[in-house]
Structure 1
């Protein structure tokens, strides 16, 4: 058995990715200079990252990528980004009692950032314990990871654009890649342009509310910070109370942007080109928006019946009020798209509401969005495939292809989607058991619902779970072994499992 992949070519281009990733630290460095906090942390981090990048580039001056090398490049680039992203955390925590001084904690926080998971090991989030620069870096990692690091590099680096189709297919969330323009680099730029545009729009609206006196604590720093983590469905916030720290109007503004983030960004490109029918006739888009509307109605009903002991920002516990509808809309918009923001501690809601939210977490956003989870289009295909099998069982001579939006879905695509869904559920279930067993080993009392939510929240890149893992809790109490398992889950969850497993299978010649 020997390794067949040209790892030098892949690592050489990983070095290029790392080198340019170091330049993004100029943003937190600027913030560090403004507040005069942790300046040396980001200067040193940039130097370390550039040195590592240049060293890796020297492994192969003229890299040539095949399909396997492209898979390896994508997989290692995401892990390398998490390692580089952990450097500022380690340096800032050096010599202090900060939880980020521990390497596993720093890697967990960085991986959670780049994979837009939003799970955190920070015991306390405040500007007294962490600098403005470090917290904005935490926000920025999610924005970089939202549309995809490799997609960004394809958009700006010609050496990666040559293999752009292979790379984007390996990184893009969802079962297929929609090519918007003749050149794949132009498609990457188009996607990032839409993503960037929505981010700027949200920042302007949030800061505009502050200037209008409607959001007193939504200053420019907070507006930028939350713009960085809403569109990538990340969920990190420099505020300990997440979006509950802001006024109701801020919450209403963020809800549609979370929903937008779960839509296939290619549809917005068509919309900007005057091709509105591409969006309106899209089967997944209609199913996605329909599901959100139904879920909000169900959760509003549960909250109106008293599912939450105390609702934030109003205190009403029963009745269909503006508060209950807002809380329901916000939590559905956040959890279905794996954003992880919260305006209420749903970990304290009753069992019926929590089980319903657990179901919502399984659904996920759309293919080609920044949302996590299984994805709506996969569930549509799985349900249609199951329906087809039941029909064929009753009518053995019938030939009935799976159709989606009037188009026939190829059998290869159906098998791939079913295989992914089964792998996802299997890995989720096994990981939940391992997390539960490891917690019992160290004497940490973890309920079955908490273990399930921990596994689902990390493999689905969702972030918060239930119990102590709720939206205002953290993952700090887990052992290093469980945290490393969750780091793996966040990594394979962002790359959607199959490319990572295919890499190991194809790379070995038996």
Structure 2
């Protein structure tokens, strides 16, 4: 079967996205003016992005897109956003020894930002060597990508709202898009308003702690910067020691907001509209909250047994102390929904503690959240489907539908979830093998655990891995080829694999 593709319509709308994305550089440009550094970098970047956006926009005066064009637009928009995001890094690094001066490193950092992965090529030492404007742009890319670039554009641009449902379905994390209002543009605005509200609330609390003297390092700049990277489950920090640089009370504040970011934002909309039991009645939320609680308890038990060296950054002391529980709660809250913040160097913990963290990474957040990973709802459907297969093996004549929250799950939806899960696991292992072989080719020592964690951290948009790729480590030493593969993994992982791969299935012909 041949599918016809009007690529000009998709690329034209991509130009619209790039044009408006360029305007977001006014935020770091303002910061550059305030601090007096890198003003020309963001002024030039803004102009370059605007020119490119306008040029692409003129390819089609009246773009009309269908399902195939929607897939192409969403895929191109995320890659285009990363390309735009890399421009300030390259310009700021030009003529310096910054690792971001190299285009592959700049693209890696930008893709990691927009896809809210949080993997970095900067390293713990060089993070604080960059200007306030560059660091805030790094944080802002995560906030823009958290709820979705296309969702934002649908909320503000009428030309995209016409085909908004198809676009949001292609971009939204999870197997199902929940329409909150009769108009898809209103749904997009509702999601972004909730997202914006939680971001502002976190910034106010963090800066309030600073004003009371309980968080001396959490000034207004740091409060805004970390607000930009918490709700999108991004994980970038302006500090080399991540959240370990801040006081214990600040770390406790981050935990509930990281958990909130992994919840389906549609549930918050329902609660705000009087449906008070929306959270407790939702099977995915109950499983998500239960999994977090159980994993925190398990990790706390492992840490009590002395799984972490007490003298490391954010290290834990033996015994059931407040610090031990905080370390367990923070790391689980961060890694299960792919935030990637850290208050301890868990790369130095023993294998039992690391195994708990890997398990949390594989679960992921909820559908409709900003979290990455496979997603809780998919695991629920897969487990219930496996139980059904075992039951029908014993009772061949029985008709046993898969139910979730009292509703029968459509068989097409089950098939789609199983296909996604198998593709995810297959890509994970193939990428890990490739990264291991390519690292051996260049003489870079990469253990099996590090290769597996690099693949999982980028495909699942998680960020930190283990070993040299831990929360205070860096992806800098990988070859350009391996970095390109991980850029692809972050891109395809954020779009949940299928929309990107679907473009390569079957024949695609230009409508003209």
Aligned partners of 2:233 and 2:371 also within 8 Å:
yes
Q: Are 2:453 and 1:453 aligned?
A: yes
SS at match of 1:508: strand
In the aligned structure 2, how far is the partner of 1:353 from the partner of 1:213?
Answer: 34
Q: Determine the structure 2 residue equivalent to 1:137.
A: 137
Matches within 5 A, 1:303-342: 303-310=303-310, 316-342=316-342
Q: Determine the structure 2 residue equivalent to 1:440.
A: 440
Deviations 1:206-248 (A, max 9, x none): 0000000000000000000000000000000010000000000
Identify if the C-alpha distance between structure 1 residues 59 and 424 changes in structure 2 by more than 3 Å, giving closer, same or farther.
Answer: same
In the aligned structure 1, how far is the partner of 2:509 from the partner of 2:38?
Answer: 48
In the aligned structure 1, how far is the partner of 2:8 from the partner of 2:315?
Answer: 59
Aligned partners of 2:93 and 2:99 also within 8 Å:
yes
Identify if the C-alpha distance between structure 1 residues 463 and 146 changes in structure 2 by more than 3 Å, giving closer, same or farther.
Answer: same
In the aligned structure 2, how far is the partner of 1:105 from the partner of 1:35?
Answer: 25
Q: Determine the structure 2 residue equivalent to 1:470.
A: 470
Identify if the C-alpha distance between structure 1 residues 210 and 426 changes in structure 2 by more than 3 Å, giving closer, same or farther.
Answer: same
Aligned partners of 1:243 and 1:251 also within 8 Å:
yes
In the aligned structure 1, how far is the partner of 2:27 from the partner of 2:189?
Answer: 21
Q: In the TM superposition, what is the alpha-carbon distance from 1:313 to its structure 2 partner? A: 7.4
Of the structure 1 ranges 126-135 and 366-375, higher mean CA displacement relative to structure 2 is found in 126-135
Q: In the TM superposition, what is the alpha-carbon distance from 1:314 to its structure 2 partner? A: 7.4
Identify if the C-alpha distance between structure 1 residues 69 and 365 changes in structure 2 by more than 3 Å, giving closer, same or farther.
Answer: same
Aligned partners of 1:304 and 1:319 also within 8 Å:
yes
Q: Determine the structure 1 residue equivalent to 2:490.
A: 490
In the aligned structure 2, how far is the partner of 1:233 from the partner of 1:308?
Answer: 25
In the aligned structure 2, how far is the partner of 1:8 from the partner of 1:314?
Answer: 52
Q: Are 2:288 and 1:288 aligned?
A: yes
Q: Determine the structure 1 residue equivalent to 2:148.
A: 148
Aligned partners of 1:312 and 1:343 also within 8 Å:
no
Deviations 1:374-404 (A, max 9, x none): 0000000000000000111111111101100
Aligned partners of 2:210 and 2:218 also within 8 Å:
yes
Identify if the C-alpha distance between structure 1 residues 315 and 491 changes in structure 2 by more than 3 Å, giving closer, same or farther.
Answer: closer
In the aligned structure 2, how far is the partner of 1:421 from the partner of 1:127?
Answer: 35
Q: Determine the structure 2 residue equivalent to 1:118.
A: 118
Identify if the C-alpha distance between structure 1 residues 364 and 127 changes in structure 2 by more than 3 Å, giving closer, same or farther.
Answer: closer
Q: Determine the structure 2 residue equivalent to 1:353.
A: 353
Deviations 1:447-499 (A, max 9, x none): 10000000000000000000000000000000000000000000000000011
Q: Determine the structure 1 residue equivalent to 2:212.
A: 212
TM-score under structure 1 length normalisation? 0.98
In the aligned structure 1, how far is the partner of 2:505 from the partner of 2:314?
Answer: 55
Identify if the C-alpha distance between structure 1 residues 462 and 128 changes in structure 2 by more than 3 Å, giving closer, same or farther.
Answer: closer
Gaps of 5+ in 1: none
Q: In the TM superposition, what is the alpha-carbon distance from 1:279 to its structure 2 partner? A: 1.7
Aligned partners of 2:303 and 2:316 also within 8 Å:
no
In the aligned structure 2, how far is the partner of 1:354 from the partner of 1:3?
Answer: 46
Q: In the TM superposition, what is the alpha-carbon distance from 1:2 to its structure 2 partner? A: 8.0
Q: Determine the structure 2 residue equivalent to 1:367.
A: 367
Q: Determine the structure 2 residue equivalent to 1:31.
A: 31
Identify if the C-alpha distance between structure 1 residues 354 and 314 changes in structure 2 by more than 3 Å, giving closer, same or farther.
Answer: closer
Q: Determine the structure 1 residue equivalent to 2:224.
A: 224
In the aligned structure 1, how far is the partner of 2:2 from the partner of 2:434?
Answer: 30
Q: In the TM superposition, what is the alpha-carbon distance from 1:9 to its structure 2 partner? A: 0.1
In the aligned structure 2, how far is the partner of 1:371 from the partner of 1:307?
Answer: 27
Q: In the TM superposition, what is the alpha-carbon distance from 1:125 to its structure 2 partner? A: 4.9
In the aligned structure 2, how far is the partner of 1:349 from the partner of 1:314?
Answer: 12
Aligned partners of 1:125 and 1:238 also within 8 Å:
no
SS at match of 2:181: coil
Identify if the C-alpha distance between structure 1 residues 110 and 431 changes in structure 2 by more than 3 Å, giving closer, same or farther.
Answer: same
In the aligned structure 2, how far is the partner of 1:173 from the partner of 1:315?
Answer: 34
Identify if the C-alpha distance between structure 1 residues 199 and 306 changes in structure 2 by more than 3 Å, giving closer, same or farther.
Answer: same
In the aligned structure 2, how far is the partner of 1:335 from the partner of 1:316?
Answer: 18
SS at match of 1:9: helix
Tell me how large the CA RMSD over aligned residues is: 1.4
In the aligned structure 1, how far is the partner of 2:338 from the partner of 2:313?
Answer: 23
Aligned partners of 1:206 and 1:250 also within 8 Å:
yes
Q: In the TM superposition, what is the alpha-carbon distance from 1:507 to its structure 2 partner? A: 5.0
Aligned residues: 510
Deviations 1:234-285 (A, max 9, x none): 0000100000000000000000000000000000011111111222200000
SS at match of 1:284: helix
Q: Determine the structure 1 residue equivalent to 2:54.
A: 54
TM-score under structure 2 length normalisation? 0.98
Q: Determine the structure 2 residue equivalent to 1:431.
A: 431
Q: Determine the structure 2 residue equivalent to 1:393.
A: 393
Q: In the TM superposition, what is the alpha-carbon distance from 1:347 to its structure 2 partner? A: 0.0
Deviations 1:421-455 (A, max 9, x none): 00000000000000000000000111100000000
In the aligned structure 2, how far is the partner of 1:157 from the partner of 1:507?
Answer: 31
SS at match of 2:476: coil
Q: Determine the structure 2 residue equivalent to 1:158.
A: 158
Gaps of 5+ in 2: none
Identify if the C-alpha distance between structure 1 residues 461 and 180 changes in structure 2 by more than 3 Å, giving closer, same or farther.
Answer: same
In the aligned structure 2, how far is the partner of 1:358 from the partner of 1:447?
Answer: 16
Deviations 1:104-157 (A, max 9, x none): 000000000000000000034557621000000000000000000000000000
Matches within 5 A, 1:232-251: 232-251=232-251
